[in-house]
């Protein structure tokens, strides 16, 4: 299990006692402020512990939804507009208005770790919105995989989500042409 420094401080009452527990092998320091009771921790578990308010989006969400086999070079995390700035070079923070931040937010189990991620319907809308920013080959691969899932996608949910986006009708046309 993974713990924050604050959680261990509640248990051990002082920084000295935490340091002693680490020296005794009760806990392992994974990175600054993050500890584990096993020597190594899955990077997704560390990210979710460190940024519990973060939601996987963009290239990361497509990868974790198995819509592409391209491993993103950064972790793309959405946060609300007022969230603390994420300073890690491995993470690309995407700030959103509250209504968009919460739209389609869900959890999935990936390699035994629960991660916050946007659902496939929300990510399809983002794909259509950002069609020109994504490379052509990657876009085609993701669209191809969405076509395979077309029958399992909730079109009512897509229509509901589109109300929150500018040019929702144009986005819907793109989705209709490309996927359904």
The verdict on 37 and 84 lying in the same domain is no
Do 83 and 111 belong to one domain? yes
Mean pLDDT, rounded, of the chain? 95
Are 30 and 57 found together in one domain?
Answer: no
Phi, psi of 88 (to 5 degrees): -65, 135
102 lies in the same domain as 27: no
Task: Give yes or no: residues 88 and 158 share one domain.
Answer: yes
Instruction: Judge if 150 and 73 occupy the same domain.
Output: yes
Residues 119, 106: Cα–Cα separation, whole Å: 6
pLDDT digits (tens, 9 = 90+) for 82-136: 999 999 999 999 999 999 999 999 999 999 999 999 999 999 999 999 999 999 9
Of 106, 55, 99, 109, the residue nearest 78 (C-alpha): 55
Residues listed for the chain = 180
- Do residues 109 and 20 both lie within one domain? no
Would you place residue 23 in the very low, low, confident or very high pLDDT band (cuts 50, 70, 90)? very high
- How many domains does the structure of the chain reveal? 2
Q: Are residues 37 and 51 in the same domain?
A: no
Structure confidence by residue, pLDDT tens digits, 128-161: 999 999 999 999 999 999 999 999 999 999 999 9
Same domain for 113 and 129, yes or no, is: yes
CB 41 within 8 A of CB 1: no
Note the maximum CA span of the chain: 62
Domain residues for 160? 47-178
- Asked whether residue 21 falls in the same domain as residue 51, the answer is no
Regarding whether 10 and 71 lie in a shared domain, the answer is no
Query: How far from each other are the two terminal CA atoms of the chain, in whole angstroms?
Result: 43
- Please tell me whether residues 16 and 79 are part of one structural domain: no
């Amino acid at each position: 299990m993974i713990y924050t420094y604050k959680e261990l401080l509640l248990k051990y009452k002082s920084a000295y006692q935490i340091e002693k527990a680490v020296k005794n092998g009760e806990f392992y320091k994974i990175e600054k402020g993050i500890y584990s009771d096993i020597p190594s921790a899955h990077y997704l578990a560390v990210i979710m512990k460190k940024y519990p308010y973060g939601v996987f989006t963009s290239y990361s969400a497509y990868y974790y939804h198995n819509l592409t086999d391209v491993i993103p070079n950064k972790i793309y995390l959405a946060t609300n507009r007022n969230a603390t700035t994420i300073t890690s070079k491995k993470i690309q923070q995407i700030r959103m208005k509250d209504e968009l931040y919460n739209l389609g937010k869900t959890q999935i189990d990936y390699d035994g770790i629960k991660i916050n991620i946007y659902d496939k319907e929300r990510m399809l809308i983002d794909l259509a919105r950002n069609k020109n920013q994504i490379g052509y080959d990657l876009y085609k691969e993701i669209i191809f995989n969405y076509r395979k899932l077309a029958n399992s996608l909730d079109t009512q949910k897509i229509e509901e989500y589109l109300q929150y986006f500018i040019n929702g009708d144009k986005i819907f046309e793109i989705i209709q042409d490309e996927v359904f």
